[in-house]
Structure 1
Amino acid sequence: MSQGTYTVIRFFDLLFSALGLVIGSPALLILTLVGFFDTGSPLFRQERVGRHKKPFVLVKFRTMKPDTASVASHLADASSITPFGRFLRRTKLDELPQLWNVFKGEMSLVGPRPCLFNQQELIDARAMRDVYEARPGITGLAQVSDIDMSTPQLLAETDQRMLRELTVPAYFRYILLTLSGKGVGDRVRPSGKVE
């Protein structure tokens, strides 16, 4: 990705995240209130690996019970997801608060999904491919291709390919594909399955 493309994408990130936060504020408020009655703690905050491997606090709507272990989604048990959480994950509305991370410059709308610091295999695979030169994102090639963190090498390769080929038209394409429902989001482990 060229510096010019990077600058244009950052402009659109700022524009769309600001508009989303302002226009979407009624929906954010309603989802926060419903989430409060669902779990008592509607917002989920978790430290993730950011650009240049710097930590940042990602914020989402909570979809799992508050006492769920802090692990990658594919290692969490499906029984941890609340009924309202299932709705949020299916509609991808749980991602809305991340617009604040985008606005602050910690994330982009399009980029590699940020992982946890305990996902060492994925961190190493991404570092080898210079994935951490870019901001992490809400969506991207892996997300619309149903590739998640359960396959770290494939995910890192896909992230590298996306960043190498990322243009402004591709940026809009990934956003539109996500808004149209492409991709299933982060998988979770079926209830009772031990890995």
Structure 2
Amino acid sequence: MPEVSKIPFGLADITIGEGADIIKFDGKENLQAEGGEVSISPILEEMKIADFGDSTYDEYVNGYEGEVKIIAAKPTIKLMQLAMSYADAITDTTTSEVVGLMDSKIGTSMRDRAKKITIHPRVMGTDKSLDINLYKMAAVGELTRAYENAQGNLEITLKLYPRDGFDANKPGNFFYIGPKDPNVVTP
């Protein structure tokens, strides 16, 4: 009989970035107004063979696309900066504190601003077997703010890019599921 406690249910902890700049949606540091969502899709190239007419004979993986959506319950400058990877910080010159955002210069790389994301189902406790790890994601979604008699959420939409140190001749360049990063060599 399967362990009922291992059936995924409810929210996930979403961790964005690493080190000092880490942002967590974990029910403590930041709250989600709605559950988060991840989508990963292969980009497929159809192979057609004249002998089979217009039928698809096979499909080859020609890339990957992915997206993570988070609805933050309480907008802050730090979360708005996350939601708009295409924006630059305005800092207080005396405290170095981020006090606002402005548009980035034309030609700014989103991949350079991308961060690692880990999605861990809360019900799994310390079991990381269903964790989804995305190597590099940057927010490229639009900023939309409604000012009405309703909850003022902040939608964050992040897009998937290949990892740093990628090898296009090998797998494991965009994501992995589970506790072990296939690109980390342990002695």
- TM class by smaller structure: under 0.3
Structure that is richer in helix per residue: 1
TM-score by length of 2: 0.26
Structure that is richer in strand per residue: 2
Mark the structure with the bigger radius of gyration: 2
